[in-house]
Amino acid sequence: MIKDLKKKLISAYQTWRKGNKIPRIYPNPSEWSNIPSDITDALDGALHLDRVRGVDSSGNFKVRYFINYGRHETFTEAINDHATMYRYVYHYCSKTQMGYSFTY
């Protein structure tokens, strides 16, 4: 299993080194200042986990962390709202006798 994983990792690395573009899913440092504050605020909320501390039935002190799905939803909505403002729309263009015809 380890050998198989190693082969896959080496293959992926070699493919990447040949110049294939792996999509970047995070902003670079200069882009962070251009991100709307509602998105960065929602991201900050989504990255924080709720912490619950207490004593279990055996008397041992326990700490547990939980995802706050409400904050995650807020972040997803902020991203989606921003994305709809820049949605790609396909326009079909065909040549006719009179020139070009555009279909929206």
For the residues of 22-62, what is the DSSP string, one character each? PPP-S--HHHHTTS-HHHHHHHHHHHPPEEEEEE-TTS-EE
Q: Is residue 20 part of a domain?
A: no
Q: How many domains does the chain have?
A: 1
Q: Is residue 3 part of a domain?
A: no
Q: Is residue 51 part of a domain?
A: yes
Q: Is residue 62 part of a domain?
A: yes
Short-list 78, 75, 57, CA closest to 67: 75
Is 3 strand, coil or helix? helix
- pLDDT category at 99 given cuts 50, 70, 90 is low
51 CB-near residues (< 8 Å, 6+ apart): 63, 64, 65, 66
Q: Is residue 11 part of a domain?
A: no
**Per-residue pLDDT, 96:** 58
Q: Is residue 21 part of a domain?
A: no
Whether residue 104 has pLDDT greater than 50: no
The whole-chain average pLDDT of the chain stands at 78
* Residues spanned by the domain of 87: 28-103
Q: Is residue 40 part of a domain?
A: yes
